[in-house]
Structure 1
Amino acid sequence: MPEVEVVVAHQERATLRVGDVFLKIDADQGRTDVEVEAMALAPVPTPEVLWRKPPVLALAALPGTALGRLGEPSTASPAAWAAAGAAARKLHDAPLPPWPGRSRAEIPAVTSVSPG
């Protein structure tokens, strides 16, 4: 049986890795729904959703080689880092996915009122 690795854990969410599967546990199902929708719209490779059973989302690990590990020197080539940077730039340049709830235009402007 593969080892269970805690990737991140805090009061809102925990992510575990078991072999080539990431398990994201989130009490806010809406946040998970937005994440899955955003991954489907992303212009870069994203993990395959293996299954969802709230509050758990199971994702496949992306194929490839890790560029590095926290606290260890990277052995990845400069070309690999450049390719990762290009993918990140493509993602950041893409339009934001739709977000549930009121749009920015629907939120009333706050005006300051001075006393007296």
Structure 2
Amino acid sequence: MRVGDVFLKVDADQARIEVEAMALAPVPTPKVLWRKPPVLAIAAVPGTALGRLGEPSTASPAAWAAAGAAIRKLHDAPLPPWPGRGLDELAADLDGECEWLVTNGVLPADLVTRNRQVAEAALRPWTPVFTHGTDVDLDVIRAWSSLRSLLGVRWLVEHGFDPTAPGCEVDVLRSRM
């Protein structure tokens, strides 16, 4: 979530706050401003955004090529020396969050159900890499996006943030409808 020139990564599972992994990345990463679990604050990266959710990109082909080159460097980098979360744990967390969102009337059931279905693609076995490969499966990218948004809404609500603000989690979820 962006707040001015700061990006906040909110995650109750501190194993997913990748400060250590960022330090291992073979490309420049944003400056870590502070870390107060469950939040990591990083500085905005200078430059112009390649695009915005729901809007056409005005970025040049050269800008997209540079972004692709950085992603390829990340993909080719060795994995961090620690395991990720198990699929069963991730599925259980997702089930719990979806139930909370609907039971508490935070989001409409059809929106949660559709995004839970999209997120299923992230719950199948995969080969770990630093970031996605050049053989991109857009369904998996969308799945992780839905999954992360579904998992983040409760924390934002409980801490006084608006997950319905433009470009935030609920916008991502609505884009799947």
Q: TM-score, normalised by structure 1?
A: 0.67
Q: Which runs of 5+ in 2 are unaligned?
A: 85-177
- 2:43 paired with 1:60: yes
Aligned to 1:23: 8
Runs of 4+ with deviation above 4 angstroms: none
Aligned to 2:26: 43
> How far off its partner does 1:31 sit?
2.4
Aligned length: 84
Q: TM-score, normalised by structure 2?
A: 0.45
> How far off its partner does 1:27 sit?
1.2
**Separation (CA, whole Å) in 1 of partners of 2:29 and 2:69:** 15
What is the letter of the counterpart of residue 76 of structure 1? A
**Deviation string, structure 1 residues 57-80 (Cα, Å, up to 9, x no partner):** 111111111111121111111111
After superposition, where does 1:1-116 map in structure 2 within 5 Å?
16-32=1-17, 35-99=18-82
| RMSD, aligned α-carbons | 1.5
- Identity over aligned pairs, percent: 90
**Separation (CA, whole Å) in 1 of partners of 2:33 and 2:22:** 13
> How far off its partner does 1:100 sit?
5.0
Could you say which structure has the higher strand fraction? 1
What is the letter of the counterpart of residue 82 of structure 2? W
> Which structure exhibits the higher relative contact order, with contacts defined as CA atoms closer than 8 Å and separated by 6 or more residues?
2
Q: Computing the radius of gyration over CA atoms, which structure comes out larger, 1 or 2?
A: 1
Secondary structure of 1:72's aligned partner: coil
Secondary structure of 2:34's aligned partner: strand
Could you say which structure has the higher helix fraction? 2
Secondary structure of 1:23's aligned partner: strand
What is the letter of the counterpart of residue 23 of structure 1? L
Secondary structure of 2:58's aligned partner: coil
